[in-house]
């Protein structure tokens, strides 16, 4: 390891998480990644990253598996909590179905971090946790004090990936993270990206990337039980 620390990345096979792992490996860190099935071919791109053979370990768990999260995070000094529930882009989802894995999942990750004495947690939130606030003064720059209004988000009734995941679950999950930090003293920082776009490391389109592609280029969509695919 060359003296480098161990870092855990949740939701390892996702678009952003894959890039985080790639850069951590290049910096010489030993990386623990959480996935549902380490042997699944959808995770093959992670094992092909530079230095993955010696410095990447995949752990089988999910956000609702407390014991699995503790096992994955044990020995790590830092955690990037990137995992978030993501249905296929063309799915019609009741937003409440996503709240438990988003909010309870975030709480489970933070519980595991506290138990294993992690020094720093980076929680990937979203601009969706900020931007939907009709009461915010027009023209005033949004900052750490601005939160999307959950009641307003629920009234939108949009049947899109953005509305169900980003607006509701991301807002609630980040709020839970900050409340947890206040109660426990755990050191966390959140980032709220807007559009994340770039080359895919994985061989198939994941749900969020497909949704963006559909939005920008008008592609048609299909989905199977596990992930979305695309065609012109």
Q: Indicate the Cα dihedral angle 125, 6, 14, 155, nearest 10°.
A: -20
Which three-class secondary structure string do you get for the chain? Answer: CCCCCEEEECCCCCHHHHHHHHHHHHCCCEEEEEECCCCCHHHHHHHCCCCHHHHEEEEECCCCCHHHHHHHHCCCCEEEECCCCCCCCCCCCCCHHHHHHHHHHHHHHHHHHHHCCCCEEEEECCHHHCCCCCCCCCCCCCCCCCCCCHHHHHHHCCCCHHHHHHHHHHHHHHHHHHHHHHHHCCCEEEECCCCCCCCCCCCCCCHHHHHHHHHHHCCEEEECCCCEEEEC
Catalytic residues: 170
Residue 149 near residue 219 (C-beta atoms within 8 A): no
- Please name which of 40, 39, 41, 49 lies closest in space to residue 17, comparing C-alpha atoms: 49
Are 208 and 142 contacting, i.e. CB atoms less than 8 angstroms apart? no
């Amino acid at each position: 390891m060359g003296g480098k620390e161990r870092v855990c990345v949740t939701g390892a096979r996702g678009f952003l998480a894959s890039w985080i792992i790639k850069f951590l490996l290049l910096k010489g860190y030993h990386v623990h990644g959480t996935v549902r099935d380490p042997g699944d071919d959808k995770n093959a791109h992670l094992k092909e990253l530079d230095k993955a053979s010696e410095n990447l370990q995949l752990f089988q768990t999910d956000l609702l598996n407390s014991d699995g999260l503790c096992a994955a995070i044990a020995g790590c000094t830092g955690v990037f909590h990137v995992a978030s529930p993501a249905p296929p882009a063309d799915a019609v989802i009741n937003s409440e179905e996503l709240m438990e894995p988003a909010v309870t999942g975030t709480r489970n990750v933070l519980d595991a971090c506290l138990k294993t004495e992690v020094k720093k947690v980076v929680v990937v939130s979203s601009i969706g946790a900020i931007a939907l606030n009709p009461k915010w003064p027009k023209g005033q720059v949004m900052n750490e004090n601005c939160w999307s209004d959950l009641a307003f988000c629920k009234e939108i009734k949009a049947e899109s990936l953005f509305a169900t995941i980003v607006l509701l679950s991301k807002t609630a999950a980040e709020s839970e993270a900050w409340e947890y930090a206040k109660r426990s003293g755990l050191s966390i920082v959140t980032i709220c990206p807007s559009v994340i776009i770039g080359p895919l490391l994985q061989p198939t389109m994941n749900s969020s990337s497909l949704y963006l592609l559909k939005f920008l280029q008008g592609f048609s969509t299909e989905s199977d039980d596990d992930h979305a695919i695309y065609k012109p």
